[in-house]
A and B are shown apart, each in its own frame.
Chain A
Amino acid sequence: MVFPGASARRRQQTVGWLAAVVLAVGMEAGAGYIWGVNRAGAVLDAPVLDADGVTPISGANLRMDFLAGPNPQSLGVNNWSWLGTGMGAGYVAKPVYVVVAGEAGSPWYYQVYVGEPEADLRGGRWVKSEVVRVTAGTFERPGIPVGLKPMILGPPRRGTVRFRNRVPGIVDAPVFAADGITRLAGGKYVAQLHARLAEFANEEMVASGEPAPFGEGASAGYWEPGQQEVLAITGVGYGRRAAGRIHVWEADRGGTFDEALQAGSVVGVSDPIDWVSGQDESSGVPTPVLAGLKSFRLSEPMPGTLDFRNHGTGVDDWRLRGGSPHDPFGNLLAAPFVVQLWVGRGEADLRPVTAPAPLGSGEQAGRWTPADGGLVTLTNFVRGERVLVSLRVWNGNMSPTYDGALGRDFRYRSSVPIWVRPGGDGFAPPAAIPAHRALLAEGTGVNRLLVQPDSSAVVFDASGRPLSDTNYVAQYFTYQGDQALAISLPARLGTGVHAGLWQPTSPDPIVLGYDVGCCESVQVRIWNASRAGSFEAAAGWPRAVSKVVTVRHSSPPPVRLTPALLGTLRLSKYGWPMVSPTPSALPTVRDIEDFDLPWDRPGFVGRLHVAMDGVGVAEAFARGEGGTPTGPVGTIGTGASAGVWELPVLREIALVGVDWPFPSSDVEPETRPVAWTQLRVWEKAKGATYAEALSAGGVVGYSEVVRVELERGMFETAKPITIEAFPIRGRRMIRMVPPGLSLVSNPAGRSATPTLDGVLPEATLGTRVDLFDDESQTYRSAVRGDRWMGDPLPILAPGHGFFVHNSSIGPQKLVFEGLEDSLPPLSRPTGRPAFHCRANTLGRPMSFEELTGLSPRNGDAAFAWSKGDWTVWTFDFGAWSPGVPVLEVGETWFVRLGPRSTQP
């Protein structure tokens, strides 16, 4: 049956849809496009520059907003991107479209904003371009804001305060010693401002400026701000209301308040004050003073106090509300919910420090009444110490404890922890703990998940026998993402007939949390509790894990964790993943120059080094740096065994220190964790370790970096890795080149192939190298962009000289590896003189003859580059002028050799 009007409604809907389509098409047809860029071909070049007007700003966290509008007064952010880095510094990292509601060809106004996050609020750096006119284009050919000019990023616009505790007529707040009488004097004590934006009460106050010493005599009790009387406040912008406290401590106990506190310093913290921050002095705006600051005194370390009272009656911010994290304005919470204060030095360390406080009802909903008056003395935390606090809320009818409520009622939550500093009587006021909105996630609950531990699973030792060691414990875990959370207490394993078995600590099912998707992952972990207090901390000792059991949201009844589900529980032989290095077919260690020859010198040893993957780790390994040694030290053989890394028969090497993450699923992850390994060889006489030998100038060598994808099986069976043959590198020689132009050279007479990356590992953007090529009598160039560029890339071979154009403001490091040795003799050219650029490769002063292998002849010359000029020695009429040249250690010469035909 069709109701009257139904078809009419359908028609209306159809018409509506058509209208919408037409409208959409019409809008598309009317759209114009502009590039969100500050560089385009040769028509636009408007980089973001530093204050010097030359240096491009490198992106990092700088955002670019592109504003557009039909007139200069109505510009709005249309699209955004980030500033680029490296060679792209100063320019947009990725061009974006700015879409405007006008036909292609229509005029628009356009502006670029570049700034640090919340720059205006936090006093960060930012700049806005001039507003320019731009003609909108089509999608295929967007308009280009050709009128943009380069932009100079402004200085930080951090708000200011006059950092004094005595300003006649406004503030007079001397600081006293613990006796309350003696004024602090001299440099023994220092004062520093800690502040934050007043509107963000949950944020931690951070230090601004340097600690200031106290004055003496009539100025005792007052700190001397020195150059920072007008103090820029970290994280607070111009004209923003700031809240702060003065922190005072013993200067010789630490460079910061927290360091000093840890070292047992007597400290003092003022009451909090707030002010509207000023601008820099050049603005002419009067700088605010610390008005309202009161005198305070120091205190010996004493237990601190927190204020757990429900402040701010009538202020909603101090009421507890329900609602998901995305709905912070949920209903006020009421009984039977309770709230409890948890405190710790880190999230894993949070513990309850109060009794649960019941929440009120009706008018009092959202407020709580602490059972003990609300001032909480923390026996484990001293006044002024950084303390992490969190509020926890749950249904008090379900359980007297927060942990007990987990899973019994889906409505529970802990607040986001914040850092506070406890106060105390005669010290600073106790830090008040603000309530948090969005403490509860209502209405998102699901059925409880129950798992029933099973005591029939047997744990075996590494040899396959039931584990008979009561030091071992078993514990159930679940996962949040890849983070494992314990869901039971550790249970000890038995002996005798109970060998390999553990008795669950409670016969009750384990109740899991609610706020998960379809299911939970559960795992049993076994470790030696006499070695460490947790499974993670027991890394390096034999451990075992079960399969990951997936428990779906279908319980009850509880899912029984049977041996079939858990799989074999067998202790690893070692606690670290293992590798088994297989040397290459060739003897592993090869001659420094002739790769066909094995390294055949006595007194060399080798050891594997390892590190987990991380930023810069692979690059450091490529230079034979970083990582830690692991496994046995093996001798490098000589004679018939020359170049062979002689390991013990058992070639299994545990990768000690490799942090083995246990994934939350039995499915092998697509991306496995990676460790880097490398065989490093050194001169034993120069040190017991590679690092010692390296720093003592010993001859060393290192293999290519071996990438090892970690697998679960590596605990039981060593994963084979292949160490390819590699040459000895020689001694490491460091040279520093100052800014500007320097003539340097590879000081080794023999070395493996040196690359630009190896020699100039820290080259800055724009660094250039010009290597002189004897054959062509020209230079081969390379320039450092996002990587070294050159066609072809020059090889900085032994003894070869080259110019380095260091365009940075500081010195740059050059790293050479090799052995001292004489270079092959040069030969005289035919036809006309030729230049050669050579280094001192003997490690002692060298003569012209030693450098070239030739006797000087008339017309020969030597050139040394010094401070932008050539110093010249010429050989004419059978003698050197102005004297016999000597090439000192570390120096480089150009030599000019006359042709054969000119010789007498």
Chain B
Amino acid sequence: MNAMLRLSATLLGGWLVVVPASAPGQGTIVLGNYAPAIGLNAPVFGVDQVTLVDGLPMRFELLAGTRPSELAVVGSPSELSSPGYFGPATRVVPGVSPGQTVHVKVRAWTTLDGETFDEAVATGGRRAESDTFEVVAGGDTGGGAHPPTSAAYLVGLRPLVLAGQPARPRIRSIRVVEKGRLLEWEGPADGSYLVEVSDVVPPQWRIGGSGTAVGTTFRFLDDGRGLAGPLGPLRWYRLRQLPL
């Protein structure tokens, strides 16, 4: 927003301009990747590099700081608002004044592969990270002399491409229940799984079945009547994640 202050000749010539003291405001940035009129159009692509991310629970967070080496997460993450696009969401950058140059970065990941970005990295999950670039924080009031300028958009952000693989499933429990044995595991909700069983050692695996999903929790009930066959005193289980 062009916020030039125009003062009339009368005002300048005859009166002392009194601008009330104002505590310094805080710089604002818009966490978003679409504002084509000002040259921002940086969609997020899937791992194939050409398909816009869609259908995954995604998180996008802003990191900012006055030095490139000292970036910190700003505010809460945003979500997909359209295939390949997130925000816009205004974020106040602590310790940064309006009009100040800020180093920023965007991180993206799917919560199927981690609750946080670091967790997604740790599991080798699907995530992306932009370069660090500079923007001038918005929210400038000219020391209270005019209304705040609008928040700065992330002009300079380039398209992101997810890297990584769906996180590996984690066995939560195998327990005896009234109807048989219940295998529970956590894994990406969009994953496909195969439970294999063996009643001998060394194992001779055969297909036992697949799981039923409730969110990211999967269950397989081995009641001795399915593909796995009658239950004996000992049974080995193996969980396989099928490629997407």
Residues of A within 8 A of B (CB): 35, 37, 39-43, 45, 87-88, 95, 144, 741, 765-766, 768, 770, 772, 776-783, 785-787, 789-792, 803, 805, 807, 831-833, 835, 837, 858-859, 863, 868-872, 874, 876-877, 881-882, 894, 896, 898-899, 902
Most interface-central of A39, A779, A882, A894 (chain B CB within 10 A):
A779
CB distance from A36 to the nearest CB of B (A): 9
CB within 8 A of B82: which of A789, A803, A831, A899?
A: A789
Render B42-56 as a binary contact track against A, CB cut-off 8 A, 1 for contact.
Answer: 000100111110000
Contact B21 A832 (CB under 8 A): yes
Question: Please, how many angstroms separate the alpha-carbon atoms of A782 and B151 in the complex?
Answer: 12
Contacts of B168 in A (CB 8 A): none
Contacts of A88 in B (CB 8 A): 52
Contact A781 B151 (CB under 8 A): yes
Q: Can you list 6 A-B contacts (CB < 8 A)?
A: A144-B50, A778-B151, A789-B82, A832-B20, A876-B15, A881-B11
Q: Kindly report which residue of chain A lies nearest to residue B146, judged by CB atoms.
A: A870
Contact B148 A779 (CB under 8 A): yes
Contacts of A785 in B (CB 8 A): 34, 81-82, 85
CB within 8 A of A858: which of B18, B25, B79?
A: B18
Contacts of B3 in A (CB 8 A): 870
CB within 8 A of A781: which of B15, B86, B148, B150?
A: B150
Which chain B residues in 1-49 approach chain A with CB under 8 Å?
1-8, 10-11, 14-18, 20-23, 25, 28, 30-32, 34-37, 45, 48-49
CB within 8 A of A42: which of B17, B20, B22, B159?
A: B159
One of B88-96, B109-117, B208-216 contacting the partner: B88-96
CB distance from B223 to the nearest CB of A (A): 37
CB distance from A517 to the nearest CB of B (A): 39
Question: Please, how many angstroms separate the alpha-carbon atoms of A322 and B146 in the complex?
Answer: 82
Question: Does residue B224 face the partner (Cβ distance < 8 Å to A)?
Answer: no
Contact A881 B10 (CB under 8 A): yes
Interface of B is mostly: loop
Contact B21 A807 (CB under 8 A): no
Contact B78 A859 (CB under 8 A): no
Question: Please, how many angstroms separate the alpha-carbon atoms of A304 and B148 in the complex?
Answer: 74
Contact B36 A766 (CB under 8 A): yes
Question: Does residue B147 face the partner (Cβ distance < 8 Å to A)?
Answer: yes
Q: Kindly report which residue of chain B lies nearest to residue A95, judged by CB atoms.
A: B50
Render B129-158 as a binary contact track against A, CB cut-off 8 A, 1 for contact.
Answer: 000000000110100101110110000001
Contact B37 A776 (CB under 8 A): no
Contacts of B48 in A (CB 8 A): 95
Contacts of B108 in A (CB 8 A): none
Contact A87 B146 (CB under 8 A): no
Question: Does residue B102 face the partner (Cβ distance < 8 Å to A)?
Answer: no
CB distance from B214 to the nearest CB of A (A): 27
Which chain B residues in 137-193 approach chain A with CB under 8 Å?
138-139, 141, 144, 146-148, 150-151, 158-161
Q: A87-B82, A95-B50, A768-B35 are in contact. Are A837 and B147 (CB under 8 A)?
A: yes
Contact A870 B35 (CB under 8 A): no
Q: Kindly report which residue of chain A lies nearest to residue B2, judged by CB atoms.
A: A868
Contact A869 B90 (CB under 8 A): no
The 4 nearest A-B residue pairs measured at CB: A807-B37, A791-B89, A41-B161, A789-B81
Contact A778 B7 (CB under 8 A): no
Most interface-central of A35, A778, A831, A877 (chain B CB within 10 A):
A778
Contact A41 B45 (CB under 8 A): yes
Q: A868-B2, A870-B4 are in contact. Are A896 and B18 (CB under 8 A)?
A: no
Contact A894 B92 (CB under 8 A): no
Q: Kindly report which residue of chain A lies nearest to residue B20, judged by CB atoms.
A: A859
Question: Does residue B68 face the partner (Cβ distance < 8 Å to A)?
Answer: no
CB within 8 A of B15: which of A765, A778, A837, A881?
A: A881
Question: Please, how many angstroms separate the alpha-carbon atoms of A356 and B100 in the complex?
Answer: 89
Question: Does residue B124 face the partner (Cβ distance < 8 Å to A)?
Answer: no
Q: Kindly report which residue of chain B lies nearest to residue A39, judged by CB atoms.
A: B50
Contacts of B84 in A (CB 8 A): 87
Contact A40 B18 (CB under 8 A): no
Contact A833 B20 (CB under 8 A): yes
Contact A781 B88 (CB under 8 A): yes
Contact B87 A40 (CB under 8 A): no
Q: A95-B50, A881-B15, A882-B11 are in contact. Are A779 and B90 (CB under 8 A)?
A: yes
CB distance from A616 to the nearest CB of B (A): 20
Q: Kindly report which residue of chain A lies nearest to residue B27, judged by CB atoms.
A: A778
Q: Kindly report which residue of chain B lies nearest to residue A791, judged by CB atoms.
A: B89
